[in-house]
């Protein structure tokens, strides 16, 4: 599993990188070794609420959330991706 993180309009700190690595590691059991996990973190308007946008793409699955923090957005994206993965397993 290859995780690629793209930070737009801000500089990402090591703590956020570690948090992303921890949260995305749970997908390793569902994905093949050569699958890509693309994460795009964007600050939309620095002075506004709900100004953080998180986009996660795993293969043909895609989730996009807007929140007050990247951590909250990533958590919501992971929950949505878990549901998508479960639906695919049921098929």
Please compute the mean of the pLDDT values over residues 13-31 and round it to a whole number: 88
pLDDT digits (tens, 9 = 90+) for 56-67: 998 889 999 999
pLDDT in tens, 25-70: 887 777 777 788 999 999 988 777 889 999 999 888 999 999 999 9
CA distances from 19 to 2, 32, 43 (A): 16, 22, 18
pLDDT given at position 46: 76
Each domain of the chain, given as residue ranges in start order, spans: 2-90
Query: Does domain 2-90 correspond to CATH entry 3.40.50.300?
Result: no
Cβ neighbours for 32, distance < 8 A, ≥ 6 positions apart: 1
DSSP 51: -
Find out whether 46 and 68 touch, Cβ atoms under 8 Å: no
């Amino acid at each position: 599993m290859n995780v690629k993180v793209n930070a737009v309009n801000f500089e990402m700190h090591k703590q956020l990188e570690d948090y992303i690595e921890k949260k995305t590691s749970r997908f390793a059991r569902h994905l093949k070794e050569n699958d890509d996990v693309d994460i795009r973190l964007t600050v939309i308007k620095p002075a506004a609420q709900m100004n953080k946008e998180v986009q996660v793409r795993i293969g043909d699955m895609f989730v996009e959330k807007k929140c007050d923090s990247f951590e909250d957005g990533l958590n919501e994206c992971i929950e949505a991706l878990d549901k998508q993965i479960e639906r695919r397993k049921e098929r």
